[in-house]
Amino acid sequence: MRIHSLPTQLVNQIAAGEVVERPSSVVKELVENCFDAGASQVTIEIEQGGARLIKIRDNGCGIVKEDLPLALSRHATSKIASLKDLEQVVSMGFRGEALPSISSVSRLTLISRISDADCAWRVNADGTEQNFDPQPDPHPPGTTIDVRDLFYNTPARRKFLKTEKTEFAHIETLIKRMALSRFDIGFILSHNQKEMLNLKPAKTESEQEQRIAGICGSSFIENSIKIDFAASGLQLSGWVGLPTFSRSQQDMQFFYVNGRLVRDKLVSHAVKQAYQDVLFHGRHPVFVLYLTLDPTLVDVNAHPAKLEVRFREGRLVHDFLFSALHRSLADLRPGHGVGRVSPAHESIHAPDVARQAMPESSPQPRPVFDTKSTYSPRPPQQASLPLHVEEAIQAYASLYPKSEPVAQSTQPEVRPLGHAIAHLHNIYILSETPNGIILVDAHAAHERVTYERLKQQYQNGAVPSQPLLLPIKIKVSAAEADLAEQEYEFFNTLGFEINRSGPETVVLRSIPVLLGNIDMEILIRDVLADMTEHGMSQRIQEKSNEILATVACHGAVRAHRRLTIDEMNALLRDMEQTERIGQCNHGRPTWIELSTNDLDKFFLRGQ
């Protein structure tokens, strides 16, 4: 065949293949136009999942009569005029492809009125970009776009649509995500003449949190912290979930760049690193975050549907995001209003290499409480997060010789984690506070305290070590002996002096001061085995935190001696000064709080 020009309608239908994937794609493009028009209210009417009708009305600036044909023509827009504009896009849409593409695969009607016009004007389109005949209409100021019979002229595309319920679910999810990006706009969504969503503009922080709670659930707000960081021309604000409030899927992660919802590998990696040693393996954090930066530093034209962006200074953005989130999580300490575990949390079961397994016949679940929630007392078997841990812990005083005694006065000093009154089952520390009681998983808490101290010492140059009176000979595999020999200097920086003395033998001569009097032979075997198993042949320094976490985990050994009051209080005081103390190195919670109000509810006091 000879080369020839394609018909305009066919060109637009081809473009529609990139822009219009399903009904929710149409909704996205049209609602973004409402944003750019300065609307404060957007109404979306859907019928049959969007296959029959998508009708979107806004109260924005409207379109003048003479521009209506251009609005339905390919590559016509009011949002950019030059390449310079394209390099600093501040609007949601700018390509001028959406309306002609949508009209080429549907029956589209556009009605619009500017504020000072006598009436609105209506045009119909079929993707040919011809025969426009504007007609007067009584429409109020703003714009309505009526899209009927989507894919009526491309039956092959229509066959790919899912059920009505599924397609509407995609639309509803989309509107909720868009509503999180623009708190200043009200949204009404209906399906088959039934109102499904009605969100009023949210101007105050309280109203914004109410909108988030309505979309993500009240437990999200109850288990998240508000952040606001700025540096190097970048600003990150929003809400991040506590590590204990995680999910098995990445379905509650919303990240906006200059108001645009995006999915970006750089962002995902920065978030993953920030949560690295506070989140249980296989779990995913929750967040609603807003990154604001100079439009010239981000390319929003990297994806046909504008779902991906490209940062011009990727390393700067990555490091900023990691630093902001890492700092926020590090600041979560007792006394900052955190440490309560939500009953809505999905159950997780953390592996615990230092714990003795409980008999299968033993009842494992324990009740978990959130003092911010309104609820009735629940029986223990309804707990959502098991807190069974090792049955013992080494003498804490040997690790922290400067344990402080319990105040003897009748009114002890007020502390965020209170003062210890009992060691339950050689596992949990029971502490009393003015507001209620605290339960601490002593092993998990000690693990985090040790880990953070080891990290700090390592970052300061080296971990202080102490020589052993009698060096310990340890039998290991040949591969593990090779690893110990190759990484002698690195182990030294961690506080260990390990020499190879044979094909399958190493000698331990010094250990970190923090580890105290524990079974070092088992510890070294476990650490070398873990390092070998997880492929530590790459630059091992890059894995320093993982090694330190392993050391801290294996260093928290099993013992069967009940802790004294002094030892328990020493741990509580250390917890109050330790970053990320809310979770152990595996992401399990280290402490929970039960208020006096909660106790009153259990015993029906005051009712």
Burial class (CB in 10 A: 0-12, 13-18, 19+), 429: buried
Q: Domain with 486 in it: what CATH number?
A: 3.30.1370.100
| One domain, residues 240 and 134 | no
| One domain, residues 235 and 137 | no
pLDDT score recorded for residue 403: 42
Q: Which domain holds residue 278?
A: 217-330
Residue ending a domain, among 199, 226, 253, is 199
Query: From residue 560, how far is each of 104, 304, 423 by CA, in Å?
Result: 75, 63, 12
434 assigned to some structural domain: no
Report the SS3 class of residue 508: strand
| One domain, residues 144 and 272 | no
Q: Domain with 114 in it: what CATH number?
A: 3.30.565.10
| One domain, residues 185 and 250 | no
CA distance 104 to 123: 14
CA 71 to chain centre: 39
pLDDT score recorded for residue 342: 36
377 assigned to some structural domain: no
pLDDT score recorded for residue 373: 32
pLDDT score recorded for residue 197: 96
| Token duo for residue 598 | 């909660």
3 assigned to some structural domain: no
Report the SS3 class of residue 463: coil
Report the SS3 class of residue 299: strand
Q: Domain with 263 in it: what CATH number?
A: 3.30.230.10
| One domain, residues 42 and 181 | yes
211 assigned to some structural domain: no
Number of domains in the chain: 3
41 assigned to some structural domain: yes
600 assigned to some structural domain: no
Asked if 43 and 188 touch (Cβ cutoff 8 Å), the reply is yes
Query: From residue 408, how far is each of 114, 204, 290 by CA, in Å?
Result: 77, 47, 50
Residues of the chain with pLDDT under 50: 337, 339-403, 405-409, 537-541, 557, 559
What interhelical angle do 478-486 and 520-533 show, nearest 10?
90
145 assigned to some structural domain: yes
| One domain, residues 230 and 190 | no
pLDDT score recorded for residue 527: 81
80 assigned to some structural domain: yes
CA distance 253 to 286: 5
Report the SS3 class of residue 196: strand
Q: How many CA atoms lie within 13 A of 19 on its CB side?
A: 24
| One domain, residues 468 and 538 | yes
CA distance 305 to 300: 10
Q: Give the type of residue at 10.
A: L
pLDDT score recorded for residue 402: 42
| Token duo for residue 544 | 């320093």
pLDDT score recorded for residue 556: 62
| One domain, residues 129 and 14 | yes
Residue 301 backbone dihedrals phi, psi, to 5 degrees? -105, 30
Neighbours of 550 (CB within 10 A): 22
Question: What value, to the nearest 5°, has the Cα angle with vertex 241 and ends 239 and 244?
Answer: 165
DSSP code, position 112: E
pLDDT score recorded for residue 305: 59
| One domain, residues 47 and 187 | yes
Residue ending a domain, among 288, 309, 330, is 330
Q: Which helix (H) or strand (E) holds 444?
A: helix 442-459
CA distance 424 to 437: 13
| Token duo for residue 167 | 């397609």
How many DSSP H helices and E strands does the chain contain? 19, 22
Q: Give the type of residue at 177.
A: R
* 565-566-567-572 Cα dihedral, nearest 10 degrees: 90
| One domain, residues 235 and 173 | no
Asked if 225 and 332 touch (Cβ cutoff 8 Å), the reply is yes
Q: How many residues does the chain have?
A: 607
| One domain, residues 114 and 168 | yes
| One domain, residues 25 and 63 | yes
Residue ending a domain, among 282, 303, 330, is 330
Q: Which residues contact 46 (CB under 8 A, 6 or more apart)?
A: 23, 27, 53, 54, 55, 168, 171, 189, 190, 191, 192
* 16-22-28-33 Cα dihedral, nearest 10 degrees: 40
CA distance 451 to 458: 10
The dihedral of CA 203, 205, 207, 210: what is its sign? positive
- pTM (predicted TM-score): 0.71
pLDDT score recorded for residue 356: 33
